[in-house]
Amino acid sequence: MDSHRARDTAPVPAAAIRVRDMTDADCEAVARIRVLGWQTAYEGLMPAAHLDAMNVEEETARRRELLARRGPSVGNLVAGRAGEVVGWACHGPLRDDDVPPGDAELYAIYVLPDVLSTGVGRALLEVVLERCAASGHGRIRLWVVEGNARARRFYERAGFSPDGAEDTYEVDGVLVPEVRYLRPLEMP
């Protein structure tokens, strides 16, 4: 391992990570984070052809469209380190119909592969949890790909646990199993 790579994976002081609301100017960086995040996290869990076909330019257009039409209850956050956007999270009201209304949902959280395990994801998650609690949500849920052991460990260390719900979704003809996680939120 070269010294540059070692620096990238060393824990970063929380003060060095700045979490803020996403703007239109962040869409390309978020698209890159999402594409690289999927290609890293879901390698071997989703069809390789689908992951290989992911495109930052197309994803940038999609991020711009989604950001422009999001409702006021949907939050998009970016994490910056040394002036570069290196992480993204999106949250809002729970979209599942099988639980009483009122819970929040973490829709997505991704960081660039070279900043995994440096505190960027934790910093994003902390802000998501604070904002969801401040909005009056008592709990937050999320869906995680069942075979994504790294993500499951991350969520479990952050106080999430499986709530018993499981589902699948189709990616290029392959069913991908997911598990839903739950965490109570501390009210401000």
DSSP string, 73-130: T-EEEEEEETTEEEEEEEEEE---SSS-TT-EEEEEEEE-GGGTTTTHHHHHHHHHHH
Any residues with CB less than 8 A from the CB of 171 and at least 6 apart, and which? 46, 47, 50
Give every residue of the chain whose pLDDT is below 50, as ranges: 1-10
Looking at residue 43, the DSSP 8-state letter turns out to be: B
CA distance 55 to 137: 35
How confident is the model at residue 70, as a pLDDT?
84
Which residue is listed with tokens 């994801």?
121
The packing angle between helices 56-69 and 27-41, to 10°, is 120
> What is the helix (H) or strand (E) element at residue 59, kind and residue range?
helix 56-69
pLDDT score, position 95: 94
